Chains A and B, each alone.
Chain A
Amino acid sequence: MTPDANVQRMADTVLVVEDDHSVRALLRMLLEDEGLDVLAAASGPEAVELFGNAHVDLVLLDIRLPGFDGFEVCRRIRRLSNVPIIMVTAQQDSHDVVAGLELGADDYVTKPFNDRELMARVRTQLRRLQLSSAADSDIIRVGDLEIRAGEGTVTKAGERLSLTKTEFQLLVHLARNLNLVLSREQLLEHVWGYAYHGDGRLVDTHIARLRAKIESSPAQPALLHTVRGLGYRLSVTP
């Protein structure tokens, strides 16, 4: 980090939601060292209130919280915003992961995490933010979808859709590879930045959420097809 970087653009703000005092303080310091602004909340209600009153670029959200839990925080934030959310879960194979992803979390880390792991996830989410806001003027049309990658907007039959950053990134990547089958691993690497050990459920739950938004009848997808055993493909032909 150089002082120039701060001059060029405003620092991204991370909302850390964590009930343990020392973990919260340490995360604040580690994230600030990365040149990020940090807001911290110790409970569910405090997190939702802080989120309503400040500009936040990323939420780092623990599940076990006083007041109401991380799932509820996620649900309430999603009603207001498509901000990236990283869930902090106990176990990779627990229901927490799927539950969090289905509520709209973009990614997750498993506690106890080390700072390299955490920073890698945080940077991926924030970089994506910058990438999609970089000038990119092409318009991709798929069926009745119109994707403006530069603006970060999607319309279906002229009507604007509300996608999270991850869903948008997923859609853009699939649209740029129109009619090609992309494997879970390819999507994990491109959209989530996982070179290894990516969790296929990240892709599956986000595809399901994306379908719910872009398909007229998500149970019989006309655009976003599952290719059994291989991956996913966006195309107007079945």
Chain B
Amino acid sequence: MKLVPRGLRVRSALGFAVLALLVSAMLSVVTYQLARWYLIGQREDLAVRQTMVNAQVAKGLVASTEDPETLLASLRSVSNARAVLSVNGSWYATVVEFNEAVIPASERDEVAESGAAMQRVTVNGAPYLVIGVELPGLDAVYFEFVSLAEYRDTMDTLATTLFIGAGVATLGGAIVGWLLSRRVLRPLAGVADAAAAIASGELDRRLDGAHDPDLQPVVDSFNEMASSLESRIAREVRFTSDVSHELRTPLTAMLSAVSLARRSEMNERTKFAVDVLGDQVEHLRRLTLELLEISRIDAGVAELELTEVDVPVLVARVMAEAGMPANRLRSRLGTLRRHPMDPLRIERVLANLLENAERYGGGATAVELERDGTTLVVHVDDAGPGVEPDERVAIFGRFHRGGSAQPEDKPKGTGLGLALVEEHVRLHGGTVTVTDSPWGGARFTVRLPGEQAP
């Protein structure tokens, strides 16, 4: 089981947080220990000095009086210390709670052994320092309790402060890690953008040089990859274009030769042969022209010649040429008849759609024009069997062979007609789709935007 989170940014933030936590915890512990060591040392020094002074006073008092009550009263009047005095085996305490019972035996032993001792005790839950000193020349020991409550409060405050500090540092680390990873990932976002642009056909997109020398190799190899991709595609496109170009002259010669041959007297067999030749050459001519047309679009050299066109007029002209009765045109454009387009290309689009309907759909039954906002919508309906849903994208592919057979009584299709429709429409920033016609059959829908996408 993996507990490491997957996202680079989350990992980065967590890493920085852990690092910050470790560093701040270590610093806190050290700070706390140092502060304690220093503060307690100071406190002890002070306590010892004070105890020494008080012990001298107590020694004087013990020497000057025999009466314990007087001694105790004097001791109270001299200082308000919590003192315990042991004289000749008798104990005197200035404050009732601080008596011989709360002085640990080890403290008493150590004083007896080395003349002075210091130890920490807890009385009624409060911390105290108990210091014991032998009074020289007398059989007496002076003990004093010094409160450490103030010191403990200071240390508690310090600990709380350090604890909060460590928490803030950890959170800060996480934020820094998050932001830093964004900075680190930003060049990566640039790479992603460029890759997406290339994928969408902007083949000349490159990355700018990185400011960071560590990123330069990535930028270089990305650009290298894009260049090689671009030149490979360009080579392929040029090849198609060159092949088509080179075919033009022999095709022209063949077309002319067939025309010439047809003008002569021929017997049945020769006439049949020349007719086959003529049909095939004509097919090859259309194929070559369409390959050239599509390779120019692929190469990105095709330019859109946009003009405002009277749409119903253009559509009616194409329909008339295809031998379609004018009453099958239904325009719902009203008086907004004009639309920006490259008329030659849209004529090709419509002619190809009508031809497609003729070939596979039993002829176009209607051409409808309408508007969707500023978009021009053209529907071409046919009376054929329609297009299966899983064929509706593939049908626009190049040399796509659908399920329906090529009709034998019509000239062979090139297999590029619908692909060209899609390419020409795409050049306009529009779309072409196929659905079911409300009257049965297939409905091809071309949508051309009113304002051209930049």
Contacts and interface: CB of A to CB of B under 8 A. Distances in A.
A200 B252 CA distance: 25
Given A20-B252, A93-B344, 7 more contacts: A20-B253, A23-B252, A93-B296, A94-B301, A197-B347, A228-B308, A229-B307
6 contacts: A26-B256, A112-B289, A113-B255, A115-B255, A197-B347, A199-B344
A20 B263 CA distance: 23
Of A26, A27, A110, A195, chain B has the most CB atoms within 10 Å of the CB of A26
B303 interface: yes
A14 B260 CA distance: 18
B289 A110 contact: yes
Nearest to B302: A93
A114 B317 contact: no
Contacts of B285: 112, 114
Interface string B295-322: 0100001110101101001000110110
Given A90-B248, A185-B317, A112 B302 contact: no
Given A93-B303, A196-B321, A228-B308, A112 B313 contact: no
A196 B351 CA distance: 11
Interface of B: 245, 247-249, 251-253, 255-257, 259-260, 263, 282, 285, 288-289, 292-293, 296, 301-303, 305, 307-308, 310, 313, 317-318, 320-321, 338, 343-345, 347
Interface in A101-115: 110-115
A22 interface: yes
Contacts of B247: 112
A23 B292 contact: no
B249 A23 contact: yes
B245 A114 contact: no
A111 B248 contact: yes
Contacts of A90: 245, 248, 292
A23 B253 contact: yes
A111 B249 contact: yes
A151 B387 CA distance: 61
A94 B296 contact: yes
Report, nearest first, the 8 A-B pairs whose CB atoms are least far apart.
A26-B256, A112-B251, A229-B308, A115-B259, A112-B252, A196-B321, A22-B253, A111-B248
Contacts of B308: 228-229
A92 B253 CA distance: 20
Interface in A1-59: 20, 22-23, 26-27, 29-30, 33
Contacts of B288: 112
A133 to B, nearest CB: 30
A112 B307 contact: no
Contacts of B248: 90, 111-112
B253 A114 contact: no
A201 interface: yes
Interface string A110-142: 111111000000000000000000000000000
A3 to B, nearest CB: 18
Secondary structure at the B interface, as helix, strand, loop or mixed, is: helix
Interface string A182-202: 000100000000011101110
Nearest to A119: B259
Contacts of A113: 252, 255
Given A112-B285, A229-B338, A200 B307 contact: yes
B340 to A, nearest CB: 9
Nearest to B282: A114
B307 A115 contact: no
A177 interface: no
A22 B288 CA distance: 20
B22 to A, nearest CB: 68
A33 B263 CA distance: 9
A30 B174 CA distance: 85
Contacts of B320: 196
Contacts of B249: 20, 23, 111-112
A195 B318 CA distance: 11
A226 to B, nearest CB: 11
Nearest to A94: B296
Given A91-B293, A92-B344, A30 B303 contact: no
Nearest to A197: B347
A92 B305 CA distance: 12
Contact of A91 (B292, B318, B321): B292
Of A93, A196, A201, A229, chain B has the most CB atoms within 10 Å of the CB of A93
Contacts of A200: 305, 307, 343-344
A113 B259 CA distance: 12
Contact of B259 (A112, A114, A199, A229): A114
B260 A29 contact: yes
A26 B257 contact: yes
Given A92-B344, A196-B321, A23 B256 contact: yes
A196 to B, nearest CB: 5
A128 to B, nearest CB: 23
Nearest to B260: A29
A90 B243 CA distance: 12
B252 A30 contact: no
B61 to A, nearest CB: 122
A113 B252 CA distance: 6
Contacts of B282: 114
A54 B282 CA distance: 35
Given A94-B296, A228-B308, A111 B343 contact: no
A77 B254 CA distance: 30
Nearest to A27: B256
Contacts of A20: 249, 252-253
Given A91-B292, A93-B344, A112-B288, A196 B259 contact: no
A171 B96 CA distance: 132
A195 B320 CA distance: 10
Nearest to A33: B263
A115 B313 contact: no
A20 B248 CA distance: 11
B255 A114 contact: yes
